[in-house]
Structure 1
Amino acid sequence: MKKVIGLLAAVSLLTAPLAQASTVTVSGSTSVAHVMEVLAENYQKIASKNVEVQSTGSSAGIRAAKDGTSMIGMSSRNVKQSELNSDTKEIVIARDGIAAAVNNANPVQNLTQEQISQIYRGEINNWSEVGGEAKPIVVVTRENGSGTRGAFEEIMKLQRTVNGHKVTAISPRAQVGNGNGMIKTIVANNPYAIGYISLGSVDDSLRAVDVNGIAATDTNIAAGDYQIARPFIVLMDKNAHINAQDFISYILSEDGQSIVAEEGYIRVQ
């Protein structure tokens, strides 16, 4: 009996790494995770393979793909060359707009790109300065390491150079929310708040303002008219496990890209 138990234990130890390897691990951007979870759920139904998705932020996802702690990393901002190694492969799976979102009770319908930047720099502090009520603006931003924040700062020129290093120009008085969900909750419950979130996360609880007179829509982003937009990127090792490669192939397939579109993002295939 002891020999049988010992044999079973040995077989278990040998097969455990194989079982673990068969699970596709994905981590990173909370914005990308929104659509990735739906893609993973559908893929598991047709492929009978496990996919685990974790929202850890773009910077953490890039590091995880680079050091191998996740098979696939997710980023909702452009990846710097210094963050990659020679074996890391970048793949754009979708495109997304970043919405400047306000409370449904806010009468402001349109802001210029420069007005939004001035609001976030703390140069415009009252809604009356941009056609709204005479009420202080509650500015809400994402946490450091957020891909959405990185893309927003880059597009909106909300970075400055200090001693040779780029630092944020967003007002230190801005409230910080971790993830699109928290930003939505803050803005949906405060009629004088403004926050930026993934366009695919906009729902009836809040409203995306027009920017430079252009509505935040998939059509306008695809045409290049709505300027606050960024790619959704996945990263993996060139020699990644076959299951990870198959999952990426599914995402780029007609079925996968249809899900991308259904979830409110712009397909790339």
Structure 2
Amino acid sequence: MKTKIIGALALAGSMAFNTAAVANETISVVGSSSVTPLMEVFGETYSNTNSNVFVEVQGPGSSAGIRAAKDGSADLGMSSRNLKDSEKSEDLIEVVVARDGIAVVVHNNNPVNDLSKEDVTKIYKGEITNWKQVGGEDKPIVVVTRDTASGTRGAFEDIMSLKKKINDIKVSAISQRAQVASGNGQLKTTVANNPFAIGYISLGTVDNSLKAVAIDGRKPSVENIKSGEYQVQRPFLVLYQASRINPTTKTFMDWTLSDEAQKLVAAKGYIAIN
């Protein structure tokens, strides 16, 4: 009899565990490595008050996020650039959850503190190759860019006029000699460890390991982005298919636009939408 009671209790415990597991819902989010840190904060904060919901975030890049949202392989996609016409569809909803500046960054010991937009464009095209040409030391410039799937790169190319046409097709005008970093973290490390490197990263990820330079006399800051004085900026988009989104995911999306969530945006160094 005792064995039967223990067995029944174990079965009941197993059933309770399985019920709890079923009750827990996971929201999958895939896309921009720049949006990822903010989305992770969103997810953690939301789960603290909605314990049955887990937000799983992966950051392979904006292009991957757009594809994931369109083909349904993720509940939500993230992009740190505006979508191309070829990527848009009637059923694909684009939600701006924050805005972000793109900071042009150099090594802390680099004496250059200000560059013109034209200078930056020429550096990335390979037309300016030595720091002395822009007020720095007589040293070659080591140009670091992001991979082609990066939304940060896409936005940077658009803003800095780093596109060119070949056979009526728009392609990148960034020099093929530029080093390619796979994410914000790798680019930060590369620039922080090379006194003659230049790169660009999300403003919200800038720290004291490197220096963000002013562009045309305007420093990259939340205030200058809000006023429009610093124009190297882009939206943080979250994407979903209107016909596929489930109630749990839609409730989470609505929460990201709430005052509570937008305070997190500001606290992380990004620009709130309200």
Same fold (TM over 0.5): yes
How far, CA to CA, are the matches of 2:229 and 2:22 in structure 1?
48
1:21-55 alpha-carbon deviations (Å, 9 max, x no partner): x2111000000001111111111101111100001
Is 1:104 the counterpart of 2:122 in the alignment? no
State the match for 2:7 in structure 1: none
Sort the Cα spacing of 1:236 and 1:16 in 2 relative to 1 into closer, same or farther, 3 A.
farther
Paired position in structure 2 for 1:5: none
The partner residue of 1:29 within 21, 32, 39 is 32
Matched residues, percent identical? 54
Name the TM-score, length of structure 1 as normaliser.
0.92
CA shift, 1:86, in A, is 2.0
Deviation, 1:159, is 0.5
Deviations 1:141-184 (A, max 9, x none): 00011000000000000000001111110000000001000000
Asked if 1:263 is matched to 2:272, the reply is no
How many Å separate the matches in 1 of 2:182 and 2:21? 34
Alpha-carbon distance in 1 for matches of 2:116, 2:88: 35
- 2:200 corresponds to 1:196: yes
* Runs of 5+ consecutive residues of structure 2 not aligned to the other structure: 1-11
Superposed, 1:22-61 pairs within 5 Å as 22-48=25-51, 49-61=53-65
Q: After TM superposition, list the pairs within 5 Å mapping 1:156-195 onto structure 2.
A: 156-195=160-199
The residue aligned with 1:4 is none
CA distance in 2, matches of 1:260, 1:161: 37
- Written as runs of structure 1 = structure 2, the 5 A alignment for 1:76-155 is 76-155=80-159
**Pair 251,213 (structure 1): closer, same or farther in 2 beyond 3 Å:** same
Runs of 4+ in 1 over 2 A off after TM superposition: 14-20
TM-score (ref. length: structure 2): 0.91
Deviation at residue 133 of structure 1 after TM alignment: 0.4
For residues 15 and 40 of structure 1, the distance between their equivalents in structure 2, rounded to whole angstroms, comes to 23
Aligned-residue Cα RMSD (Å) equals 2.0
SS in 1 for 2:98: strand
Aligned residue pair count: 260
Pair member with larger Rg: 2
Stretch of structure 1 that moved more, 91-100 or 245-254: 245-254
SS at match of 2:35: helix
Unmatched 5+ residue regions in structure 1?
Answer: 1-7
Q: Within the alignment, does 1:246 sit opposite 2:245 as a pair? A: no
SS in 2 for 1:185: helix
**1:234 aligned residue:** 238
SS in 1 for 2:100: strand
* 1:60-75 to 2 correspondences below 5 Å: 60-75=64-79
User: In structure 2, what is the Cα distance between the partners aligned to 1:35 and 1:160?
Assistant: 32
Shift of 1:19: 5.7
Give the counterpart of 2:225 among 217, 221, 226.
221
Deviation, structure 1 residue 248: 1.1
- Which has the larger displacement, 79-88 or 126-135? 79-88
Counterpart CA distance in 2 for 1:80 and 1:89 is 14
Code of the aligned partner of 1:127: W
CA distance in 1, matches of 2:90, 2:221: 36
The whole-number CA distance in structure 1 between the counterparts of 2:83 and 2:221 is 25
Which whole-Å CA distance do the structure 2 matches of 1:16 and 1:41 have between them?
A: 19
1:30 match: secondary structure: coil
Residue 163 of structure 2 aligns with an amino acid whose one-letter code is Q
One-letter amino acid matched to 2:254: S
